[in-house]
Each structure stands twice: as C-alpha cells, then as structure tokens.
Chains A and B, each alone.
Chain A
Amino acid sequence: MISYFSDYIDSHKQKGELVVQPRMGFSRYKLMKQGLRATQRANAVTVGTLTLDSYTRVGDYEAATLALQNNQDINGYPIVSYGAEKTQRLLHGLQSASFPVQVRHGTALPLRVFQEMVDSNIDATEGGPVSYCLPYSQLPLKDAMQGWEAAVSHLASSQNILAHIESFAGCMLGQLCPPSLLIALNILECLFFKELGIQSVSLSYAQGTNLIQDYSALRVLRHLADKYLSDMRWHVVVYSYMGVFPNTFDGANKLIQNSASLASMTGCERLIVKTKVESQRIPLISENVEALALAYAASKQRLDLSFDNDEYLVILKEAENLIQAVLSENVDLSEAMLEAFKKGILDVPYCLHKDNKGLAKTIIDKKGYLKWANVGEMPLSLERNQKQAVTANAFLEMLSYVKQHYDEGV
C-alpha cells in the first residue's frame, strides 16, 4: 500500500527538516513533468504538487478536455481529462518514497478527481466539505457535505493507497480570520475525515498579520490536534501569507522566509510557499524553485519571537468553545456542522456564501493581531469595547496591512 506522503513527512520530521512544497499546475504534459522534476531537484527537502485547473475544479471535464484537444493552455493539470494511464506515465521515475506527490485543487464535489487519484496511485490530496465549499463555490453546504462523504469514503476504501487528506480549513478565505475559528474548522474537518476511515491527515494554517499571534495559534493547533486526533497520523502544514502580497522582491522574500522560520520553530512539518512574483503573476518553474530554496534555508533560522501566553489561552478557549458547541449539536458530525453554520455558531468573517451567517467581522488590533470585531451568534465573548463596526476604509487598509508592513520595512 502506497503511503509515500505520510512516511516522507514522518521521516523528515525525525531529522528536524521542514518539508517545503510549491503550488504548481500545467496542462501541458511536458511542462508538468519538467516542473515536478525541478521541484524534486531543488536545493531543499520537497514534495511535488499537481495543481488542477479550474474547469476540472468546477466539474466541467468536457471544457478541460476540449482545451487539451485544441492545444490551449489552461491554468492547471486536468487529471480527469488525461486519465490514470497518462498520469501514471507522468509520474513514472518521479513519484516515489523519496519524492511524494500531492494533488491540490479546490473542488467542492471531488469524487471524480479522487477516483483518478486512486487509479493513478497518488496517495495525498487536500480540501474538506467546508473549506472547499464556503470560500469559492455557490454549491449548498449540504451538497458539499454529501459529496465529500462519498469521495472521502472512496479514498479510505482504496486498496492501493493509504490516503492522506490535508484540511484546507487553516486558509478558508485566505486572510482576515481570527485563528481560533481556523483551528476549530481544522479539527472538525479532520474528525470528519477520521469518521470516514482516513488514517492520515494534516491541519493547515495560513500565516496571519502578526508572527507572535501565529506562534501562539500554532501551539494551540498542535495541542488540540494531539487531543482530538491522537489515534491518527497527523502533521501541520503552514501556508505562506495568502493575502495581498508585497510588491517589492525584498518584502516578498522576507515574508516567505518568516513563514518558513515560523513553521520550523513551532515544530510544524511542512510549508506551502509563495514566490516573490506573487503580486504580479503565476510563477515560472524557476521562480518556484528559488522560493523553495529560500524557504528551506530560512527554516534553519529561528525567529526572535516572544511567546504570548495570554494570547495562547484566549485562542485555546475560543477554539475549544467552538469545537464543543458544534459537537454538541448532533451525534452525526455532518449534521452537526450543517446545523452550526445554519445557526451561526460557526461564521466565517467576510464569507459571502449563502450558507454562511455573515455576521462575524474581524479587525486588526493595535498589536497587529487578528481579533473579532463582531462574533455574531458564535459562542465567544468579546471584551468591553471590542465590538465595533468595520468601515469600508478600515477594511481596505486591513487587506494591505501585511503588504505595507513588508514593502516599507516597517
């Protein structure tokens, strides 16, 4: 049974080495192969990525196939259109115990994709019923939940791979979400995977607006993973900042380096990098390779960060309140999550999906921490004077907060 991904993470963890990974997807077969090879050969400890195109993500396999037939480049690897035989050939000589490959996508209904994945002997993917529905899909959450139940069961029952799923809940909209909610959603999605028979998972965390807050948040995430997922293989993957990226190369590189140091000093096992051209365009293979090497080198450096124990306790309490409130809604976890979103017990700030309550709001406080400006119906308490309206201008400033900080070297 192929378990390249899980085993590779374990073995490098033992050696104290951060595994770094790009986002990368090309529809042109030769280019995808070239990208995988370049990632394998990078001056870093890496895993490879097959990022799927957006037609495949929305289930429009015909459009992806048509694009291939017409020799048109699309924005990712169309795994369903190519089929297992072609994908196996792509990975031949590349994917192995010393170079695992993960399928990355954004598919709200992933059964077809997962079927191809299994048939191609790929053991790792990502997503979740909530994290791949609320941010980018118009699909009702109920349909996503059912779709993921079927798709995850298919992965869990496969005989040739020991499936690994990474929850995308540490990202959600990519920015402006206080860590406690991201942590709670991670735990809930991993419990969902566990219930359907998955034995190996990862929890994600997107770098926020302040490294000290991120430090506390990652400690909470690992503590709760240990508590709720102790009988599973799990690890944590950090995502380099997902919001508006610094324009300057210096600023961009510093941000990437900080994310790598943050990951390694908190004992996290893997990092998905961004590149210095993030603010302009999709990176070339060479730019991705450069970012991987930069991040890996930075992972050997510790950041001079103080540990905010008060913030740790605040995040821990909030996350636990959210998890427990959801679990007590219903014995069936899917029903519990659906009910929780319906009532607003879970409420993702700035998420416009119809099944998200939409009362929750975030602000960046004086310390640069992401904090609740409004908790809506969530079982969380605000400090006196914490509740506030978010103006349109304040919102714009928040979107550029990190970029400005790193571009101006402030």
Chain B
Amino acid sequence: MKVVVSSISSDSHTWNLIYMQLLMEEFGFDVVNLGSCVSYDELIKQCHHVKPDLLLVSTVNGHGFIEGENIAEKLKNYPMLRRMKSVIGGKLSTKGAADNEAIDKLYAAGFDGVFMGEQSIPLFKAFLIKHQLIMKETA
C-alpha cells in the first residue's frame, strides 16, 4: 500500500509529518512524504506521479479547514485520482474545540476521513481497517 503524506501550503511544521510517516510505516505502507508548505499544484502533481492508495494531509497551523476544503475541491477535477482515498487530520482550526460544521464541509468537499482531537489516531486506525487499507491482524 502506498501513501502520500503532505502538509498544506501555508504550514511549515514538520514534526507532525514525521510522526505520521513513522506511524504509516509501522502499518506497512510505503510512504512518500512531501514535507511542509506544499503548493496545490505540487500536491496534485505528486498524487499523479506516485498513484497512492491514500492521501494523508496532516496540518497543525490552524488553516486546515480552509485549505483542506480547497484541496478536496481541486482533487475532484482529476478522474485519475478518483480511486485514491483521502484523509485530513491535525489541528485544523485556530480555535481549540472541534467545529462540526467545518468537519461536515470537509466530508462534503470529498475527504473520506477527518480526524482531530485526542482520539484521532485510534479512530484513524479504525478507518484504515474499515477501508481495508491495513489488515486487522497486523494492526
């Protein structure tokens, strides 16, 4: 299984991206990590190049709700990427608490999974099992 791990264009943090890479490697994925401050064009280009099973957007600077929606909308334009699942997680808004309306918007825009808050990793793991991206036995 292949995963592209990426941040959003305005986020320069990398420690969350490294954590996600290590986690995905433990789950048995081949990881291509695009790093921080990834432009929309670069993200689309790499998804076409790598053809991953999963796109994982991880961001902690509070702009995730805004930029995440843009990413999902743009991905819709590419039929070649339709098979690819996409998730987003981290600290997605500048406010502390989860914003249910904003989360719904991300799902509506096309993300298959949105993960924030303390339970995000166990919930994300359950998502991977449900979508058969990892085997239950190895988890």
Contact = CB atoms under 8 A, between A and B. Distances in A.
A350 B17 CA distance: 10
Contacts of B20: 392
B26 A391 contact: yes
Interface string A347-359: 0001111100000
B14 A352 contact: yes
A391 B12 contact: no
Interface in A368-410: 390-392, 395-396, 399
A390 B22 contact: yes
A146 interface: no
Given A390-B22, A391-B22, A392-B22, A399 B15 contact: yes
A48 to B, nearest CB: 26
B33 A352 contact: yes
A138 interface: yes
B18 A138 contact: no
Interface in A167-224: 173
Nearest to A349: B18
Contacts of B26: 391-392
B14 A350 contact: yes
- Majority SS at the chain A contact face: loop
Contacts of A395: 18-19, 22
Interface string B11-39: 01011011110110010000001011100
Contacts of B23: 392
Contacts of A173: 14
Nearest to B22: A392
Nearest to B34: A352
A354 B14 CA distance: 13
A352 B22 contact: no
Given A136-B12, A138-B35, A392-B26, A352 B18 contact: yes
B19 A352 contact: no
Interface string B53-86: 0000000000000000000000000000000000
Contacts of A136: 12, 36
Interface residues of A, number: 14
Given A392-B26, A395-B22, A353 B35 contact: yes
A352 B36 contact: yes
B62 to A, nearest CB: 13
* Residue among B18, B23, B35 with the highest chain A CB neighbour number at 10 A: B18
Nearest to B18: A350
A28 to B, nearest CB: 22
A352 B38 CA distance: 12
Contacts of A391: 22, 26
Contacts of A351: 14
A193 B93 CA distance: 42
Nearest to A136: B12
Contacts of B14: 173, 350-352
Q: Which of A136, A350, A353 has the most CB of B within 10 A?
A: A350
B89 to A, nearest CB: 14
Which of A351, A353, A391, A392 has the most C-beta atoms of chain B within 10 angstroms of its own C-beta?
A392
A396 B26 CA distance: 14
A138 B34 CA distance: 10
A136 B7 CA distance: 13
Contacts of A390: 22
Interface in B92-111: none
Contacts of A392: 19-20, 22-23, 26
A399 B15 CA distance: 9
A353 B36 CA distance: 9
A279 to B, nearest CB: 15
B29 to A, nearest CB: 12
Nearest to A54: B12
Contacts of A354: 35
Contacts of A352: 14, 17-18, 33, 35-36
A136 B23 CA distance: 23
Interface in A320-378: 350-354
Nearest to B14: A352
B34 to A, nearest CB: 8
A225 B138 CA distance: 50
Contacts of B17: 352
Nearest to B7: A352
Interface of A: 136, 138, 173, 350-354, 390-392, 395-396, 399
18 contacts: A136-B12, A138-B36, A138-B37, A350-B14, A350-B15, A350-B18, A351-B14, A352-B17, A352-B18, A353-B35, A390-B22, A392-B19, A392-B20, A392-B22, A392-B23, A395-B18, A396-B19, A399-B15
Given A138-B35, A350-B15, 17 more contacts: A136-B12, A138-B36, A173-B14, A350-B18, A351-B14, A352-B14, A352-B18, A352-B35, A352-B36, A392-B19, A392-B20, A392-B23, A395-B18, A395-B19, A395-B22, A396-B19, A399-B15
